[in-house]
Amino acid sequence: MAEQPKEQLRTAPSSDRRRLLRTGMGAGVAAFAVAASGRARADDPSPPADPDWSQSLGPGIGDRVYGNPSHFEKDVIRRNVPWLTANAESSISFTPLQYQQGIITPSSVFFERYHAGRPTVDPAQHRLMVHGMVDRPLLFTMDDIKRFPSESRIHFIECPANGGMEWRAPQLNSLQYTHGMIGCAEWTGVKLSTIFAQTGLKPGAKWVLAEGADGAHMARSIPLDKMLDDVLLVYAQNGEALRPEQGYPVRLVVPGWQGNVNIKWIRRLQIGDEPWYTREETSKYTELMADGKARGFTWPIYAKSVITFPCPEMPAKGPGIYEIRGLAWSGLGKVKQVDVSLDGGINWTTARLHGPILPKALTKFTMEWRWDGSPALLQSRAMDETGFVQPTLTELRAVRGTNAIYNNNSIQTWQVKPDGSVFNVQLA
Ligand SMILES: Nc1nc2c(c(=O)[nH]1)N[C@H]1C(S)=C(S)[C@@H](COP(=O)(O)O)O[C@H]1N2
Ligand SMILES: [Mo]
């Protein structure tokens, strides 16, 4: 908004200059009142007048309390789609991305995915067993794990079923439900390479089975190369202990790879020379292609982005100046560029990327938008540092068909109507 004439900025997007002149207050104060409330009367009790609460004491510091958001922020919560799963134990809740500011997802609203509910794991009792093609099979306590040299890194975790409901037609008019199976956090833990340096690895070792302690004993075969490259055994999230929802006391974070390999409540790592073909890599998490064959072991999350403002939950409020905001990510590395279209992909403008731009992390983008109130079709398109460009849904369907559930990284279209309301639509 830097090149905006000063006058327009001072009176704010939706101001009415005639109303300003009628207030009789100082010009600067009047402009502020109009900007904040859309109304300005000399007898208005709201600030800059002093309301009661600004002239008395508030509550003092608490004793041993864990803080909560303001109660005015009560809508910022995870939500689930009741018809999506048969029960709450094998289900998913969605991150309220429409409220996320910046790249970090607060731990309290980070999406949750359970195959057998959320176990209560006592860290004092928990053990991680490392065995198979190793020189020294070892059992690690949580104290053992925390003594090793640590790493803190910011990464997203996305379930590949994110957007899976949208393959055939738009289903849910909500950013939270079309894109909320993702979160990005600062994770702290130990590199797997540090753990394997303790156990040693036998020649020929190529695969690692990672298994959870929950009732599902969710287990995935992961190539040893990836494990040694950048995988972390994580015990902390956003500066505090991992949340039970995210796998307390310890989980895998497999940067850039689909959510289900990020095994939570991890209790076992077995080293082998071939994959195990568990239920999660045969019946589940394979992709049924148009020809009826299924492909398996599709690990990385490819370049993807979405506009978070405006969106169905966050409509525009009348013509004026806005900042289109969004998030972009890639499991292959850093986001290099994001383009935004206002006309359904005919014309594109390069958006501004905001730092930090980190590999395999959410990246914020913005673009100034002067909206004249005419209908618009908003889209964003991410490109990552490998040159991978986020596809349209039509392009994706041509390759993958419509049997698919997983890995829908297509360009999202938000239709903005003249009244500012926003709808999830798909272009033919
Ligand atoms: N042990 C175990 N690990 C698990 C799961 C599970 O049900 N059990 N769900 C997986 C799936 S499918 C996803 S998408 C991610 C979600 O991580 P989150 O719940 O921290 O968001 O955890 C993965 N790790
Ligand atoms: Mo998932």
Task: State the DSSP string of 33-92.
Answer: HHHHHS---TT--STTS--GGGGS------SS------GGGTT---B--GGGSSSSSSEE
Burial of 254 (0-12, 13-18, 19+ CB in 10 A): buried
| Fold equal for 73-295 and 304-425 | no
- Tell me, what's the pLDDT at 296? 85
Q: Is the pLDDT of residue 67 over 80?
A: yes
Q: Is the peptide bond before 310 cis (omega within 30 degrees of 0)?
A: yes
- From 94, 186, 218, mutation site for ligand 1 pocket: most ligand atoms within 8 A of C-beta: 218
Q: Over the stretch 326-354, which tens digit does the pLDDT of each residue have?
A: 999 999 999 999 999 999 999 999 999 99
Q: Give the type of residue at 20.
A: L
Which residues are within 8 A (CB) of 358 and not within 5 positions of it... i.e. 6 or more apart? 103, 154, 155, 334
The domain 73-295 is placed in CATH, from the list 3.90.1660.10, 3.40.630.30, 3.30.1490.20, 3.90.420.10, at: 3.90.420.10
Q: Which ligand neighbours the alpha carbon of 114 most closely?
A: 1
Question: Could you list which residues have their CB under 5 Å from ion ligand 2?
Answer: 113, 159, 259-260
Residue 286 pLDDT: 85
Q: What is the 8-class DSSP label of residue 397?
A: H
d(CA 54, CA 416): 39
Task: Read off φ and ψ for residue 280, nearest 5 degrees.
Answer: -75, -5
- According to DSSP, the β-strands at 266-272 and 128-132 are parallel
Among the atoms of ligand 1, which is closest to the Cα of residue 247?
A: 20
| 95 alpha carbon – ligand 1 mean position (Å) | 14
For ligand 1, atom 20, name the residue with the nearest CA.
246
Amino acid present at 202: K
* 143 φ/ψ angles, rounded to the nearest 5 degrees: -60, -40
The ligand that comes nearest to the alpha carbon of residue 263 is 1
Mean pLDDT computed over every residue of the chain: 90
For residue 237, give the 3-state DSSP assignment: strand
Distance 245 CA to ligand 1 centre (A): 9
Average pLDDT of the segment spanning 301-307: 98
Calculate what percentage of the chain has a pLDDT beyond 70. Answer: 90
Domain ranges of the chain: 73-295, 304-425
Buried b (16+ CB within 10 A) or exposed e, 383-416: bbeeebbbbbbeebbeebeeebbbbbbbbbbbbb
Give residues (CB < 6 A) around ligand 1: 110-115, 157, 159, 183, 212, 214, 216, 218, 245-246, 259-260, 262-265
Closest residue to atom 15 of ligand 1, CA basis: 259
**Among residues 405, 400, 331, which one has the least CA distance to residue 361?**
331
Point out the ligand nearest to the CA of residue 264. 1
φ/ψ of residue 242, rounded to 5: -45, 140
CATH architecture for the domain at 304-425: Sandwich (2.60)
In ligand 1, the atom with minimum distance to the C-alpha of 213 is 1
Question: CA-to-CA distance for 185 and 369, rounded, in angstroms?
Answer: 29
Please tell me the residue having the least CA distance from ligand 1 atom 16: 113
d(CA 230, CA 212): 20
Whether the pLDDT of residue 39 is over 60: the answer is: no
Question: What is the C-alpha R_g of the chain?
Answer: 25
Whole-angstrom Cα distance, residue 224 to residue 229?
A: 8
Least confident of 141-145, 193-197, 292-296: 292-296
**Ligand in closest contact with the CA of 156:** 1
Hey, which of 159, 264, 269, 279 would you mutate to test ligand 1's pocket, going by the most ligand atoms within 8 Å of its Cβ?
Answer: 264
Better pLDDT: 53 or 108: 108
Q: Give 136 Cα–ligand 2 centroid separation in angstroms.
A: 33
pLDDT of residue 41: 62
The CA 324 to ligand 1 mean position distance, Å, reads: 31
Residue 130's pLDDT is 98
CA of 159 to the centre of ligand 2 (A): 4
What is the rounded CA–CA span in Å between residue 69 and residue 90?
28
Least confident stretch, 43-52, 289-298, 309-318, 367-376: 43-52
Tell how far the Cα of 238 is from the centroid of ligand 2, in angstroms: 21
Atom 12 in ligand 1: residue holding the nearest Cα: 260
Helix (H) or strand (E) holding 194: helix 192-199
